[in-house]
Amino acid sequence: QDVAYRVRHGKEAHFDGLIRHDPIEKDEIVVATLSCNSSRTKGPREEMIDNLKAQNPDLLFFAGDQTYHHTEHTAGWLEWGLQFREVLKDRPVVTIPDDHDVGQGNIWGESGKVASTAAGSDGGYYYPPSYVNMVQRQQTWHLPDPADPTPIGGGITVYYTRLRIGGIDFAILEDRKFKSGPEGKIPKMGPRPDHINDPSYDRKSVDVEGLKLLGDRQLEFLQAWSQDWTGADLKCALSQTAFCGAVHLHGQPSNRLLADLDCNGWPQTGRNKALRLIRQAWAPHLCGDQHLAVFVKHGIDQFGDGPFAFTSPAIVNTIYGRWWHPLDEKAGANPVAGSPLPWTGDYEDGLGNKLSMMAYANPADVRDEKQRADGHGLVRFNKGSREATFECWPRFSKVSDGANAQFPGWPIKVSLDQNDGRKVLGHLPAVSLEGVQRPVVQVIQESTGEILYTIRAPKSEFQPPVYSDGTFTVKLGGEFPDQQSISGLRMMPSEAP
């Protein structure tokens, strides 16, 4: 049950709120996703708070850059708290710090190395570990215990973990902390070590062996997380930034870049490792950071074979606007049917990563506060239908005006099973586990030993899809795939109904 609380200070001051019960009984779990709270625009966020209160999400996810007060985080943190307290006080909240929270323009944490400048492109943290730990303590103290609390260099703490709300299992990642910095590791091919604008460069040349993205520890965590379905019907990954470079114009419409190494599209090998593990759980990815709302379907080996991903808009977009604007101003292959947006479909980013653009929210005029394309995202997970609806709301919109008040191209409804977008070649024989209504099902390709996926089956009997011929092992269980194993299975001669 819900529990009311009151915090008192002195004889008169008090602050009231609500500790909600875990809404496991709800079929729809609603998550608000926000990031990039520009400190140049001070004061309350009244319109956004009104919308969030009306939408009443079960979970708030702040993906980073809660403040841009680089050397005064505590003041910025208190400011953020005052701005959002009316929705923070009565529901679960995930906050994870990003580069500006720890005082840097960009950050490639490189396992705790010391950065030479606050620009951070040589990798590491510029400010002392005591400052970084203070930031992390303020923003993440309330999260579940870290999966592996071993500190990185300088004694900097880690917080990557998991959180289960209403039957949705969220992996909370630190996609900056272990990432390699570009300076000194690849040639400079633009105005900055992390910006590439040389169209003749070889995309593979920057994917240098040994570069890290999530780091080995977090990859191991994702592997374990994807196989543990305790208390979970569906899964979702949360992190700071996007696993692709779905941006063309940076800072101003005249500044076109081919590639930005701050995004998680680089290094490409690390990006693909992360996406394969997220795909194993049929999970979407939520993030922020990019100052441009986009909804994409990642491609790993082929277009569309990876998970869906939603990058939320900036809360207030007065720091660094960005735009999706292909140079040839043409739609990609397989554009979204009926979309009001001209540039949807299949594209490669400047790093050669495949993405299918499904929606984007470009600023129409950064000089007009009502046309900067800032706002927040909302995701409605439906456990019964195994679908999710992704919404994108402008900062000055009114949710009472209905779905048409969203940015053009939204809302978007998808089947969460399609987070594994590999082409289904056929199905294995139906499997079930006695005494378990919806078992955990894991499918392993025997020729390679690769785990194709581990999911919670939608019903008691399930025909696992497969993507190639050969023999497969299927493991089943109640929370882990550890109770029954069936080897040597082959595709059925006809498709499943």
- Per residue in 212-267, pLDDT (tens digit) is 999 999 999 999 999 999 999 999 999 999 999 999 999 999 999 999 999 999 99
Residue 217: phi, psi to the nearest 5? -65, -45
The mean pLDDT value for 276-300 works out to: 99
pLDDT of 325-346, one tens digit each?
Answer: 999 999 999 999 999 999 999 9
The mean pLDDT value for 297-306 works out to: 99
What does the chain come to in residues? Answer: 497
> What is the distance in angstroms between the CA of the first residue and the CA of the last residue of the chain?
41
pLDDT at 495: 53
Judged against a pLDDT cut of 50, whether residue 373 lies above it is answered with yes
Cβ atoms of 375 and 293 closer than 8 Å: yes
> What's the pLDDT band for 497 if we cut at 50, 70, 90?
very low
CATH number given to 426-489:
2.60.40
Cα 359 from Cα 343, distance rounded (Å): 9
For the chain, how long is the longest CA-to-CA vector?
76
> What's the pLDDT band for 447 if we cut at 50, 70, 90?
very high
The mean pLDDT value for 364-389 works out to: 96
Cβ atoms of 392 and 51 closer than 8 Å: no
Q: Which residues, other chains included, contact 303 with Cβ-Cβ below 8 Å and sequence gap of 6+? A: 333, 334, 346, 354, 355, 356
Cα 194 from Cα 261, distance rounded (Å): 5
Judged against a pLDDT cut of 80, whether residue 494 lies above it is answered with no
Judged against a pLDDT cut of 90, whether residue 71 lies above it is answered with yes
CA dihedral 296, 298, 304, 307 (to 10 degrees): -90
pLDDT at 319: 84
> DSSP characters for 150-213?
---GGG-----EEEEETTEEEEE--TTTTPPP-BTTB---SSSTTEE--TTS-GGGGS-TT--S
Tell me the two tokens of residue 28: 């729809």
> What three-state secondary structure class fits 347?
strand
CATH number given to 23-419:
3.60.21.70
pLDDT at 493: 75
> What's the pLDDT band for 414 if we cut at 50, 70, 90?
very high
Closest CA to 211 of 268, 272, 154: 268
Cβ atoms of 374 and 317 closer than 8 Å: yes
Q: Is pTM, for the whole model, over 0.85?
A: yes
The mean pLDDT value for 132-161 works out to: 99
Judged against a pLDDT cut of 50, whether residue 123 lies above it is answered with yes
The mean pLDDT value for 43-71 works out to: 97
The mean pLDDT value for 309-315 works out to: 99
pLDDT at 201: 94
CA 285 to chain centre: 4
pLDDT at 262: 97
pLDDT of 5-19, one tens digit each?
Answer: 999 999 999 999 999
Cα 94 from Cα 388, distance rounded (Å): 20
Cβ atoms of 257 and 299 closer than 8 Å: no
Residue 48 backbone class (left: φ over 0; alpha: ψ -120 to 50; beta: rest): alpha
What are the structural domain ranges in the chain? 23-419, 426-489
Q: pLDDT exceeding 90 applies to what percent of the chain?
A: 97
